[in-house]
Amino acid sequence: MKKKEAINKQKIKDERLRRTRLYVPGNNPAMVQNASIYGADSLIFDLEDSIPLNEKDAARYLVRNALQNLDFSKIEVTVRINSLETEYCLKDLEAIIPTKPDGILLPKTELLEDVLTIDKELARIEKENNLPIGKIQIMPIIESALGVLNIEKIASGPRVTVIGLGGEDLTADIGAKRTKSGKELEYIASRIILACAANKIQAIDTVFTDINDPQGLFEIAKKAIEIGFQGKSIIHPSQVEPVHRAFMPTEIEIAKAEKIVNAYKDSIKRGLGVISVDGRMIDLPVVIRSERILKRAKAGLATDE
């Protein structure tokens, strides 16, 4: 029984499936009100880069009203607010938090202090609105060299469950060329994935900007999954399908994962401290990965082609 407790402790706090996080421009009603129909696991209503400065207020009220009045059923609903150094950041929070989004994406996160500041503001607004404290998640986006260097601290911050890689600004910041293959981001991606894994949170890959290249997206998503990303941010509804296809495990992978998970359940039922499959010892991270594979398979089978 001691072992079982240990197992649970190692599990990530938030196990939501986030194969796709769809960016939705926050000032476009046609896109905002239909955002939930395309099958993305998670929605990001954007108040930041897709909104010109003179429409920041309009987008803020539109997204606020949408979150208040529209039914997004079980899909995760998040909002990308404007970054801390802007005058809009606090206004965004004041308007959006009372609508109880699942999470807030914080762009240009560079320091643990950024997360702490947002955490404090969230707690204050939650309190003012009689909301439970600490339920709304913080999802930093790393898009600068400094952010990358502080990633281990940021990943350990309060409410942080997901970290996104913002590839466009990041490549500019380090002076690299943004390529379609994304090779300039390989080290950074690995470092973010590592920091997230150590903190049992999720790392989400950057966007793929060519919306007319589903095959290219599929291939790059495959690579992202191989190195440990648990999802990809997308910018168009048509990108849901190729990414979900990339996340679909093969039949062999599914069979193997089922075996491992069953063996794990069996070992718990029988009070065994050791898990073995086909005579080989299995450790916990392998079980967790297998559970993840099965979750992806289940989601994929529900909607596949």
Partner 1 sequence: MKFNTNTANRKIPTELHGRKLIPFSGKGKGPYRKRKYAPKIRKVSASDNKVLKSLRKAIKKSELTDGETISFHHHFRNGDFLLNIVCHEIAKMGLKDIRLVPSSIQGVHKEILPYLEKGIITSINCGTSGTIADAISHGKMEGLLTIRSHGGRARSIENGDVEIDVAFIASPTSDIYGNINGVYGEYACGSLGYAFPDAQFANHVIAVTNNLVPFPNTPISISQEHVDTVVELDKPIGDPSGIVSTTLRITRDPKGLKIARNCIEVLKASGLLKDGFSYQSGAGGTTLAATNYLREYMISKKIKGSFAMGGATKSLVKMLEDGLFKTILDVQSFDTYAVNSLLNNLNHIEIGASQYANPFTSGCVVNLLDTIILGGTEVDVNFNVNTSTESDGRIMWGMGGHQDTAEGAKLTIIAVPLLRGRIPIIVDDVISINSPGENIDVVVTERGMAINPNSPYYSILKRNKKLDIKSIDELKKIAEDLISGKPKKPKTTDRIVAMIEYRDGSVLDVIYQVED
Partner 2 sequence: MKIERIAQAGSLESCDILITVEPSKPKTGIHIHLESPAVKQFGDRIKSEITEVVKRLEIQNVKIIAIDKGSLEYCIKARTETALRRASGE
Binding site for partner 2 (CB under 8 A): 28-30, 32-33, 57-58, 61-62, 64-66, 68-70
Q: Which is nearer to partner 2, 237 or 249 (CB)?
A: 237
Alpha-carbon distance 33 to 10, whole Å?
38
Q: How far is the CB of 284 from partner 1 (least distance, A)?
A: 32
Shortest distance, position 31 Cβ to partner 2, whole Å = 9
Quick one: 21 or 56, whose CB is closer to partner 1?
Answer: 21
For residue 304, the partner it binds in partner 2, partner 1, none, with Cβ less than 5 to 8 A by kind, is partner 1
Give CA torsion, residues 152, 153, 154, 155, to 10 deg: 50
Q: What is the DSSP string of 82-151?
A: PPTTSTHHHHHHHHHGGG--SEEEETT--SHHHHHHHHHHHHHHHHHTTPPTT-SEEEEEE-SHHHHHTH
Q: How far apart are CA 250 and CA 40, in angstroms?
A: 21
CB 67 to partner 2: min, Å: 9
Q: How far is the CB of 212 from partner 2 (least distance, A)?
A: 22
Q: Which is nearer to partner 1, 37 or 252 (CB)?
A: 37
**Residue 237 binds which entry of partner 1, partner 2, none, with Cβ cut-offs from 5 to 8 Å by kind?**
partner 1
Tokens for 63, please give them: 């997204």
Q: Which is nearer to partner 1, 33 or 117 (CB)?
A: 33
303 binds, among partner 2, partner 1, none (CB under 5 to 8 A by kind): partner 1
Q: From partner 2, partner 1, none, which one binds at residue 37 (CB under 5 to 8 Å depending on kind)?
A: partner 1
Looking at the Cβ atoms of 10 and 34, the one nearer to partner 1 is 34
Q: How far is the CB of 33 from partner 2 (least distance, A)?
A: 6
- The position carrying tokens 């899909």 is 75
Please classify residue 10 by burial: count the beta carbons closer than 10 Å to its beta carbon, then call 0-12 exposed, 13-18 middle and 19+ buried. exposed
Query: Minimum CB separation from partner 2 for residue 28, in Å?
Result: 7
Q: Are 21 and 233 a contacting pair, CB within 8 Å?
A: yes
CB of 50 or CB of 199, closer to partner 2:
50
Query: DSSP assignment of 242-278, as one string?
Result: HHHHHHPPPHHHHHHHHHHHHHHHHHHHTT-S-EEET
Least distance CB 197 / partner 2 (angstroms): 39
Q: Which is nearer to partner 1, 19 or 159 (CB)?
A: 19
Nearest distance from C-beta of residue 4 to partner 2, angstroms: 47
- Closer residue to partner 1, CB minimum distance, 39 or 98: 39
**Quick one: tokens of 34?**
């239909």
Closest to 284 in 3D by CA, of 261, 254, 266: 261
Residues lying near partner 1 in the complex (CB under 8 A): 33-34, 37-38, 70-71, 236-238, 302-304
Q: Which helix (H) or strand (E) holds 61?
A: helix 56-69
Cα-Cα end-to-end distance for the chain: 43
Q: What single-letter DSSP state applies at residue 160?
A: B
CB 41 within 8 A of CB 18: yes
Instruction: Look at residue 187 and give the partner it binds from partner 1, partner 2, none, a contact being a CB closer than 5 to 8 Å depending on partner kind.
Output: none
Residue 250 touches which of partner 2, partner 1, none (Cβ within 5-8 Å per kind): none
